[in-house]
Amino acid sequence: MKKVLAVCLVLLFASVVAASEKNLIDLHKDVGKLSTKECLACHGNIMKDVTLNKKIKTYHRLHLESKLATPKNCADCHQSVDLRDGSAAALRKQVDPQLCNGCHSGGMEGAKVLYTQ
């Protein structure tokens, strides 16, 4: 009886894990339409992250807290997210550098120029 119960628990746990993974993928399917509030409900820790030099804000805080007309929504930069790719590096690759180029090539007053035209 204990073995049957153990097998049932293992199967239940496996189905819960599979369902939660699918839900995360489905949740991020239309990430370009999510509000910043919806993103920060799960990813709010990015607003607490700090750099090695505490005088310098992380790029998330810099943009979300900026007084300039910078992108203020997560979806402005993160227009797509594919969790099946696996790593944080893969997620960073999903931000198109051309989006950064719009402001950081001299296109916005006050934005640091990082790219040349």
Q: Considering the domain boundaries, does residue 86 fall inside one? A: yes
Confidence bin at 5 (pLDDT 50/70/90) = low
Tokens linked to 101? 């180029």
Sign, CA dihedral 16-18-22-25, equals positive
Distance, in Å, from the CA atom of 26 to the CA atom of 20, rounded to the nearest integer, reads: 10
Average pLDDT, the chain: 76
Number of domains in the chain: 1
Q: Considering the domain boundaries, does residue 63 fall inside one? A: yes
Q: What is the pLDDT of residue 17?
A: 46
Q: Considering the domain boundaries, does residue 100 fall inside one? A: yes
Q: Considering the domain boundaries, does residue 42 fall inside one? A: yes
Q: Considering the domain boundaries, does residue 37 fall inside one? A: yes
Tokens linked to 64? 């979300």
Q: What is the pLDDT of residue 6?
A: 58
Q: Considering the domain boundaries, does residue 5 fall inside one? A: no
Residue 84 belongs to domain spanning: 31-104
Angle 74-44-38 from CA coordinates, rounded to 5°: 55
The overall pTM is greater than 0.75? no
Encode pLDDT of 10-65 as tens digits. 554 544 444 444 577 787 888 888 888 988 998 899 889 888 998 888 888 888 88
Q: Considering the domain boundaries, does residue 70 fall inside one? A: yes
Q: Considering the domain boundaries, does residue 87 fall inside one? A: yes
Residue 80: pLDDT over 50: yes
